Amino acid sequence: MTEALDYQTMTHNAMMSIVRDALESVAKDGLPGEHHFYITFAPQHPGVDMPDDLRARQGDEMTIVLQHQFENLSVSDLGFQVDLAFDGVVQTLRIPFATVLAFFDPSVEYGLRFPANQEQMLDEAPSAPSSAREDISENTSDQNEPDAPEAKEPRTGEVLNLDTFRDK
């Protein structure tokens, strides 16, 4: 038995379940209304499965946008898989949830940055990409956002104030 509860890990897991639930909903039913996602992850982590030439163009963080066109979004307990076009070429990305650094839906100004123990979570992430479910859902989006902008916020490990994202 441990001497203290690990609230930081519990918080991380709870926040990540929001990301997982949102992606599962979109994989099943498509993006509702104006919703779209900016997802920032650590592309250099060995658990991320992506083409080497695409990985070589990235730094420590990469942001993808799931908005108008993406295909074959599927979600498992450990990560997600999606097909996106980069420079006109469709590429499959497999991203473990443990490598996700931020999630933002600008349509409702909702965002999450993950706790200071992100480095520990990255170290514990599986080195092989997680397999997506066998029942891969096709998305009905129209257009792709290839080279999404990098997230501008620095990783600080501070508690995120959700009032920042709310209309006043």
Q: Is residue 166 part of a domain?
A: no
CB 96 within 8 A of CB 48: yes
Number of domains composing the chain: 1
pLDDT of residue 163: 53
Asked whether residue 119 is domain-assigned, the answer is yes
Domain-located, residue 161: no
Is position 62 within any domain? yes
User: Is residue 47 a part of any domain in this protein?
Assistant: yes
What is the β-pairing status of strands 37-41 and 71-75? Answer: unpaired
pLDDT at 133: 36
Distances (CA, A) of 113 to 68, 69, 89, 141: 23, 25, 30, 26
Domain span including residue 50: 7-149
Average pLDDT, the chain: 75
Task: Report yes or no on 164 lying in a domain.
Answer: no
Residue 67's CATH number: 2.30.30.220
Predicted TM-score (pTM) of the model is 0.67
Average confidence (pLDDT) over 13-41? 90
Q: Which of 54, 58, 60 is nearest to 85 (CA)?
A: 54
